[in-house]
Amino acid sequence: MRVHSIDKINELKFLREKGYSINEIVLKLQIPKTTVWHHIKNVVVLSKYLSVLKSKRGGSKIRKESRLLEAKISSARLLKSKDRESVLLFAMLYWAEGAKKRFQFINSDGRMIVLWLSVLRDVFKISNNDIVPVMRIFTGMNKIVCLKYWSKITGFPLSKFIVRYNDGGTSGRTKYGMCRIEVKKSGNLLKLVLATINEVCVERGIV
């Protein structure tokens, strides 16, 4: 079954030929990025527009480098502030238990979640509206009991939680499963935490 019309696909290819980037096409035509990529991968950009497309790619690289530099400067400032101890704790916990490509922290120890959330809220000023708690349990575990536990730990109502089930069993070694903390639009925050980890290593002479 065809999802997008032939006219829209042709327009997509036409825009690519004129040097439009993938993100520009997504915004202009409101088509998913994967769909755009599928249809443009064999499209040849007209020679007179190649320089335009290359400049956009260069711009993305410059923006990324700029954000990394901002993260490095911010992390250095935080490590010199009154919140240094909290920031160190936060960064080391994230280094041990956090995801490396997305800003996510997960653990089965409620105390660790409490500590990490306290710094996230008090030092980094992340509001509860931007925090997404996710509970992971096995299908045989009591969902309500586990939810009540993590609700008490995090301060979020039960309705705020997203519940995920681990495959391959009916029970786990943890009494209440695991809690994962996600933050909306957290790309810059991830860069900041990773930069802080790197700064600490540099301080300690660890390469």
- Say which DSSP state 81 is in: S
What is the domain count for the chain?
2
Is residue 77 assigned to a domain? Answer: no
- Residue 117's pLDDT is what? 97
- 55 φ/ψ sector (left φ>0, alpha ψ -120 to 50, else beta): alpha
Q: Are residues 89 and 63 in the same domain?
A: no
CA distance 78 to 86: 10
Q: Closest by alpha carbon to 101, among 8, 194, 205? A: 194
- Residue 1's pLDDT is what? 41
- Residue 22's pLDDT is what? 84
pTM over 0.85: no
Beta bridge partners of 114: none
Q: Give every CB contact of residue 153 below 8 A, 6+ residues apart in sequence.
A: 110, 113, 114, 179
Is residue 1 assigned to a domain? Answer: no
Structural domain that includes position 115: 82-203
Q: Are residues 87 and 42 in the same domain?
A: no
- Residue 126's pLDDT is what? 96
pLDDT tens digits, 5-59: 888 889 989 999 888 888 888 888 888 888 888 888 888 888 888 887 777 766 6
| Rg, C-alpha atoms of the chain | 22
CA distance 207 to 177: 36
Q: Could you say which residues of the chain have pLDDT below 50?
A: 1
Q: DSSP 3-state assignment of 71? A: helix
Is residue 75 assigned to a domain? Answer: no
- Residue 57's pLDDT is what? 66
CA distance 168 to 180: 19
Q: Are strands 162-166 and 131-138 parallel, antiparallel or unpaired?
A: parallel
Q: Are residues 95 and 186 in the same domain?
A: yes
Q: Are residues 50 and 117 in the same domain?
A: no
